Amino acid sequence: MRLLPSLFALLALAISPVRAANDYKLGPDSEPQPVPRGEVRSGTFATSKVFPGTTRDYSVYVPKQYQPGRPACLMVFFDGVNFLKSDGAFRVPVVFDNLIAKKQMPVTIAVGVNPGAIPPTLPGGKPRLNRSFEYDSPGDANARFLLEELLPEALRGLEVTADPSGRAICGNSSGGIAAFTVAWERPDAFHQVVSHIGSFTNIRGGHVYPALIRKTEAKPLRVFLQDGRNDLDNLHGNWPLANQDMAAALKFSGYDHTYVLGEGAHSGQHGAAIFPDTLRWLWRDWPKQ
């Protein structure tokens, strides 16, 4: 029964026509509370064979309640180093600390990984960013990078569940379509998807997903979509329409999904404001630990 207020809150946010585009504020679940606090550690990964020549930073959050020998759930964040800052827009460590302590989500290790960059070859040069290639491209390359290369290093010494229902993946914008792509390609590894302001447009062909969803046997995914009516409209497509098309396709094919449409623009402000409720919805039926 504790989940009902959260679900009602999501519904209210989805249908409210009067909320201003800049009116999304963080709630108490996103503020530090007197609860056990997890730790965040950081690293750099520079030995990818899937994306050769790239280097990237990553961070790992380990909740205080984690116990060796008891595999935790897992949640991966693209553009993730900022996600895993306690003072970042989403305040993932703070929200996780609060919800885990209240048993409103399982004990979950978070991995935040940044997109790759290719270092400059000339003095004073700038690195070449690999973000769009990695995130906006359909196909299994990013999934292979994550599962075969990054996660084994980032999770060394930690135990996470092999059950894909206990493994989630999240991102904003191009990171949002990247999260869906990884789960679409590897539903054996991730069942849970969170996409904020997802770029399901024709940047590198990702606009095909609604048609693929309709014409492909349903996969065991749970998908949370968030967007704003004032999101982007440019040569690649219209973000609100693309996300509505995704939601319609997921509904047509019988997926466990929800779509929250607010008034915001291409910003994480709305997604951050509802992030605790998003996590409650995502983990609503995971066995209590």
Containing structural domain, residue 265: 3-116+128-282
By the 10 Å C-beta count (0-12 exposed, 13-18 middle, 19+ buried), 208 is classed as: exposed
Predicted TM-score (pTM) of the model is: 0.93
pLDDT digits (tens, 9 = 90+) for 178-203: 999 999 999 999 999 999 999 999 99
The tokens for 264 are 């915001």
Does the pLDDT of residue 169 top 60, yes or no? Answer: yes
E-state strands within the chain: 39-45, 56-62, 73-78, 108-113, 117-118, 128-129, 167-172, 192-196, 222-228, 233-234, 237-238, 256-262
Distance CA 186, CA 256 (A): 17
pLDDT digits (tens, 9 = 90+) for 78-120: 999 999 999 999 999 999 999 999 999 999 999 999 999 999 9
Residue 289 lies in a domain: no
Residue 177 lies in a domain: yes
Residue 260 lies in a domain: yes
pLDDT digits (tens, 9 = 90+) for 126-141: 999 999 999 999 999 9
pLDDT of residue 12: 46
CB contact burial 176-189 (16+ within 10 A = b; e otherwise): bbbbbbbbbbbeeb
State percent of the chain over pLDDT 70: 92
Residue 50 lies in a domain: yes
Distance CA 225, CA 165 (A): 18
CB contact burial 276-285 (16+ within 10 A = b; e otherwise): bbbbbbbbee
Please state at what angle helix 275-282 crosses helix 92-101, rounded to 10 degrees: 50
CB 109 within 8 A of CB 72: yes
Coil vs helix vs strand at 199 = coil
Does the pLDDT of residue 260 top 70, yes or no? Answer: yes
Rounded to 10 degrees, the C-alpha dihedral 233/174/99/59 comes to -150
* Residue whose structure tokens are 């026509």: 17
Residue 277 lies in a domain: yes
Residue 250 lies in a domain: yes
Residue 122 lies in a domain: no
Distance CA 44, CA 224 (A): 29
pLDDT of residue 17: 46
Residue 121 lies in a domain: no
Work out the pLDDT band at 19, boundaries 50, 70, 90: low
pLDDT of residue 287: 80
pLDDT digits (tens, 9 = 90+) for 205-258: 999 999 999 999 999 999 999 999 999 999 999 999 999 999 999 999 999 999
For the chain, the domain total comes to: 1
The CATH number of residue 106's host domain is: 3.40.50.1820
Distance CA 131, CA 128 (A): 9
Angle, CA of 52, 78 and 127, to the nearest 5°: 45
